Structure 1
Amino acid sequence: MSESKIFGLHAVKEAFETQQHLDKLFIQKGVSNIGLKEIEQLANKANVQISYVPIEKLNKLSKNGNHQGVIASSSPIALIDIEQLVEKAFEVTPTPIFILLDQISDVRNLGAIIRTAEAINAQGIILPKQGTAAINEQTVKTSTGAIFNIPICKVDHLKDALFFLSSYDVKSIAASEKTNQLIYDIDFKIPLALIMGSEGKGVSSGLLKMVDYKAKLPMLGSTDSLNVSVACGAILYEIVRQRL
């Protein structure tokens, strides 16, 4: 199943009412009417992200169809809420691995991380609702279908996710160059939340202040950083190595 666009007031309203897996809502900036306000309320109730965009964006997304000021994108997967994700994870293993992605904006990086996470049998991916790459056909393709075999949830804020995970005694580790500690110095045979940061900025400072550990990969050449999906793969397989 691939991402699709639903446009027009009636079609989008029906998509919410029939509980389709909607990923994002686009509403024309500066336009307000009863129909759009009703759809905004449905989106807020369903925790679907809303972006207010110019009409040119809507025309492009709908290929100049009769969008009536609103377009919804449907997700190719069903998301799971964090409570269900964590409870199911601990039913499977006493030492689950959760991967939190902080503002990863490239769909190919997202797909590649999902592919590796599923390959090492991680228990779930946690994404913020705002500012993260779309889960679309390209994400599915890059993950080579692994996206259908690993639970994924979206939360309002990753900070809230960390608080919730800590209540289950899950230890958090941020991949960060702002430390002298290497990933090889950490005991990964514990319930674990691995946080990977955005391609440009890394893990946000607010999250870095909350985590139990910060660690980095050794960089021995003149290159000072790795692609985020490559770095995530290297860390995940150190976790596997320790647990084998």
Structure 2
Amino acid sequence: MVGRKKKRTRSKSSLGNYQRNWIWGRHAVMESLRANQWLPEELHLAPEILDSSILNEVIRRAKSSGIDFQEATAESLTQLCHARDHQGLVARMPEFPYCSLDILDAPSNDKQRFALVLDRIQDPFNFGSILRSADLFGVSTVLIGEREQVGVTSHVARSSAGAVNFLNICRVPNLCEASQRLLATDYQLIAATEKSSTPPSQIDFRSNTAIVIGNEGTGIDPDLLNLATQTCAIPQSGHIDSLNAAVAAGILCYEVARQRTHADP
């Protein structure tokens, strides 16, 4: 994957106000600690409901990274994050450290690179679900815009099950310009649109590929769509005329992984 040496900077400002600057749950908190890229500013843990192995790992990693932590009761954690599904772990996070677009020029061990371009995904649970699929199926870089696009919030981090920690997420002012840079670095740009007549199985994803996923309501911006080297649409046979953006992204990511696995077992 691209970007093990990530050009990220930690910010002293918090992720947001109230719930937005807290993540909770074992997957979200533990993956943040393990990845050592987006580290909590403080940790609160409830030993009464944590397995001893998890408790020991949390304390060890917190001490190693210099993170303040304190023990608490399960009820106090509920009051802290205003949620009961914390599973004994709550963390206060700084702003997410987005990667520079220069990550595209970094050396890679991947034979074929794989990126996602997300155009104005506004639902945090959709965004988190897309990131989860991206990590599972070999995406290394995710490009998002600064406008009309949800950023990495606590809801996104939790719905991604911690996948935000293992992807190069670039937040850029102009997706069209960023996509042109992808094209200049030998990516094919594949736009997912219901207006296409080409199914994903008829596209060769074994070369460097960036897939564009559009807004939940309006799809891909026309200017961005015009940059695509090819378009595709997932075949459907039901009564609903479109797929959820996160579901569509997951299917397309799987197809890329399927083709590449078949080509290089």
TM-score if structure 2 supplies the norm length? 0.63
Distance across 2 between alignment mates of 1:91 and 1:135? 25
Q: 2:98 matched to which residue of 1?
A: 79
- The Cα shift of 1:228 comes to 0.4
Match of 1:232 among 219, 231, 249: 249
Q: 1:123 matched to which residue of 2?
A: 140
Residue pairs, 1:33-72, within 5 angstroms? none
Match of 1:139 among 151, 156, 163: 156
State the AA in 2 paired with 1:211: A
Q: Note closer, same or farther for the CA distance 1:155–1:181 as it changes in structure 2 (3 Å cut).
A: same
State the AA in 2 paired with 1:3: L
After superposition, give the CA deviation of every residue in 1:6-50 in whole Å (9 maximum; x if it has no partner). 9xxxxxxxxxxxxxx9xxxxxxxxxxxxxxxxxxxxxxxxxxxxx
Structure 1, unaligned stretches of length 5 or more? 7-20, 22-73
Match of 1:4 among 9, 12, 16: 16
Determine if contact 1:75/1:136 at 8 Å carries over to the other structure: no
Q: 2:3 matched to which residue of 1?
A: none
Q: 1:66 matched to which residue of 2?
A: none
Q: 2:21 matched to which residue of 1?
A: none
Determine if contact 2:138/2:257 at 8 Å carries over to the other structure: no
State the AA in 2 paired with 1:82: L
State the AA in 1 paired with 2:257: V
Q: 1:39 matched to which residue of 2?
A: none
1:163 has 2:175 as partner: no
Q: Runs of 4 or more off by more than 2 Å in structure 1?
A: 2-6, 74-77
Match of 1:148 among 159, 165, 171: 165
1:103 has 2:120 as partner: yes
- The Cα shift of 1:76 comes to 4.0
Q: 2:233 matched to which residue of 1?
A: 216
- The Cα shift of 1:3 comes to 2.4
Distance across 2 between alignment mates of 1:75 and 1:157? 24
- The Cα shift of 1:134 comes to 2.7
- The Cα shift of 1:75 comes to 5.4
Q: 1:17 matched to which residue of 2?
A: none
State the AA in 2 paired with 1:219: Q
- The Cα shift of 1:141 comes to 0.5
Determine if contact 2:145/2:174 at 8 Å carries over to the other structure: yes
Distance across 1 between alignment mates of 2:108 and 2:249? 25
- The Cα shift of 1:5 comes to 3.8
Q: 1:185 matched to which residue of 2?
A: 202
State the AA in 2 paired with 1:80: C
Q: Secondary structure at the match of 1:195?
A: strand
Distance across 2 between alignment mates of 1:195 and 1:160? 14
Distance across 1 between alignment mates of 2:130 and 2:222? 22
State the AA in 2 paired with 1:206: D
- The Cα shift of 1:221 comes to 1.1
State the AA in 2 paired with 1:81: S
Distance across 1 between alignment mates of 2:94 and 2:244? 26
